[in-house]
Structure 1
Amino acid sequence: MRVLTSTLLVEAVTELSRGSRLVRAKDVLAWCDRNQVDCHGEGLKNQALWDADREEARGERRLLKFKSGECKQSRVGWALIAHGAKAREAAAQLSWREQRWTGEQWDWLGGEPPPPPRRPSVREVPTRAALRG
């Protein structure tokens, strides 16, 4: 089984971007399963995916990267640079922000990560009695 590399990551995003300009990490993981590519590697879960992501950002920079926040549960997506405008529009609709590799770390374009989605408080959730009017 092949281990995911930056070239295979670009291949996956290229193929998957025919349906949507913003390709989510879960779609890349499914692509890896279908094509017998190891996206986990050695070490932490999905280590090969994150290594390929960094390798691509350090090298040819064929992909844009988007993220929904700064925690481990944040969603991640990529787009081909050629699809940048449409991918940025799709990311904005999801409240995701673009990240760029600085040579040492990922940096948020615009200075800071997107704010976490606000969940309604218990007081804001209508009760059944209030819904019946």
Structure 2
Amino acid sequence: MRVLTSTLLVEAVTELSRGTRLVRAKEVLAWCDRNQVDCQGAGLKNQALWDADLEEAGGPHRLLKFKSGECKQSRVGWALIAHGAKAREAAAHLGWRELRWTGENWDWLGGEPPPPPRRPASREAPAQAAAVRG
């Protein structure tokens, strides 16, 4: 089984971006499963994916990277540079922001990570809790 590299990551994003300009990490993981590519590698969960992402960002820079927030659980996506405008529009619609590798760390374009999405407070929850207690 091949381990995911920056070249394979670009290949995955290229293939997956035919339907949508912003390709999510879960779609890349599914692509890896279908194509017998190891996205885990040695180390932490999906380590090969994150290594390929960093290698691509520091190398040929064929992909744009977007993220929904700054924590580990944030959603991640990529787009081909050629699809930049449409990918940025799709990311903005989701509330995601673009990241760029500075050579030392990831820098949020626009200065700060996107604010975490707020879950709407349900008006039924307090009433249901009171009914259960009462």
- Scaled by the length of structure 1, what TM-score is found? 0.92
Task: Tell me the equivalent position of 2:123.
Answer: 126
Q: Distance in 1 between matches of 2:3 and 2:62?
A: 19
Q: Which has the higher helix share?
A: 2
CA positional deviation for 1:126: 2.9
Give the alignment of 1:1-133 within 5 angstroms: 1-121=1-121, 125-127=122-124
SS in 2 for 1:64: strand
CA RMSD of aligned residues (A): 1.3
Q: Distance in 2 between matches of 1:48 and 1:127?
A: 44
The percent of aligned pairs where both chains have the same amino acid is 87
- Scaled by the length of structure 2, what TM-score is found? 0.91
- CA deviations on 1:24-53 (whole Å, 9 max, x unpaired) are 000000000000000000000000000000
CA positional deviation for 1:118: 1.1
SS in 2 for 1:70: coil
Moved more, 112-121 or 15-24: 112-121
Quick one: which amino acid aligns to residue 35 of structure 2?
A: N
State the 4+ residue runs in structure 1 displaced beyond 6 angstroms.
Answer: none
Unaligned runs of 5+ in 1: none
Quick one: which amino acid aligns to residue 43 of structure 2?
A: G
Unaligned runs of 5+ in 2: 128-134
Q: Distance in 1 between matches of 2:120 and 2:36?
A: 42
- CA deviations on 1:85-124 (whole Å, 9 max, x unpaired) are 0000000000000000000111100000000011223xxx
Quick one: which amino acid aligns to residue 113 of structure 2?
A: P
Task: Tell me the equivalent position of 2:132.
Answer: none
